[in-house]
């Protein structure tokens, strides 16, 4: 499928999705959000894709925020609709994908860009990365899940400070906060993400999908994460991957998992 705002590449079990609006510092607009949804959906439904990497084109930005020109004159109703549709179409969608998503943050990840990274299952950053939620400096708040996911990742107090001050933190501070898992040089960022993807791909994609569902349940209102874990654990016993994994262990060989 051809896209106007993103580039998609598949190689050896990894689908890499790159936001490609360098002149706009890869800012998110409606068209880009729709294209990202389509690309993630296609990758998730592709049996050969075991891991998805999301990154930005160029050396300056992962995503420098939302395209403010699209909503500067919105009404209350239109603003609420923008947030609701965006969360459903992309951010919640990514968080709940059964295919692991690694955000490779190359440069600025601000506003909607940081929210996109936080919706991914985990994040790595280049040494020049800068992250923040500057929405309060525009008279608005994060609307794509930022007020919920940031406290989950860095704690309530740090999230409050970041959102209230509208400030940025650098890659090392993000690492210290637990916002990213690793910091590497920019030219090593995607290769490092691919290396992590390789480690993930040695394991059962079916089991990983069930683990994502169980982990996410702990952060959803009205869900008992322990019960979801028990249910997903039980379901694993009915899969080909479980048979292969346990048989390989008993036979003292490397497992060859069937796939999704």
Of 68, 91, 98, which is closest to residue 147 (Cα–Cα)? 91
Distance CA(210)–CA(208), nearest Å, equals 5
- Contact, 217 vs 223, CB < 8 A? yes
Task: Please list the residues that pair with 251 across neighbouring strands.
Answer: none
CB atoms within 10 A of CB 54: 28
Distance CA(108)–CA(235), nearest Å, equals 40
Element containing residue 185 per DSSP (H, E): none
Reduced to 3 states (helix: H, G, I; strand: E, B; else coil), residue 255 is coil
Distance CA(13)–CA(94), nearest Å, equals 18
Can you read off the two tokens belonging to residue 59?
């050396």
Residue that the structure tokens 């590449």 belong to: 9
Q: Taken in order 165, 168, 172, 178, is the CA torsion positive or negative?
A: positive
User: DSSP states of 103-122 as a string?
Assistant: EEE-SEEETHHHHHHHHSSE
Catalytically annotated residues:
115, 135
């Amino acid at each position: 499928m051809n896209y106007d705002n993103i580039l998609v590449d598949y190689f050896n079990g990894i689908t890499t999705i790159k936001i490609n609006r360098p002149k706009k510092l890869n800012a998110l607009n409606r068209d880009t959000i729709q294209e990202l949804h389509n690309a993630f959906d296609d990758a998730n439904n592709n049996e050969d894709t075991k891991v998805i990497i999301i990154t930005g084109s160029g050396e300056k930005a992962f995503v420098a925020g939302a395209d403010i020109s699209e909503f500067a004159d919105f009404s209350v109703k239109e603003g609420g609709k923008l947030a609701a549709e965006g969360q459903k179409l992309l951010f919640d969608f990514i968080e709940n994908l059964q295919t692991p998503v690694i955000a490779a943050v190359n440069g600025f990840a601000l506003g909607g860009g940081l929210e996109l990274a936080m919706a991914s299952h985990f994040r790595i950053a280049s040494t020049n990365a800068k992250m923040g939620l500057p929405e309060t400096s525009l008279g608005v708040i994060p609307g794509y899940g930022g007020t919920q996911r940031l406290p989950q990742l860095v704690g309530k107090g740090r999230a409050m400070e970041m959102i209230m001050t509208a400030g940025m933190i650098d890659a090392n501070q993000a690492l210290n906060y637990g916002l990213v898992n690793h910091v590497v040089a920019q030219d090593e960022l995607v290769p490092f993400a691919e290396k992590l993807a390789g480690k993930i791909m040695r394991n059962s994609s079916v089991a990983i999908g069930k683990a994502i569902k169980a982990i996410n349940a702990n952060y959803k209102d009205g869900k008992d994460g322990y019960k979801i874990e028990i249910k997903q654990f039980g379901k694993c016993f009915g899969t080909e991957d479980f048979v292969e994994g346990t048989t390989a262990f008993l036979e003292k060989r490397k497992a060859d998992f069937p796939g999704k």
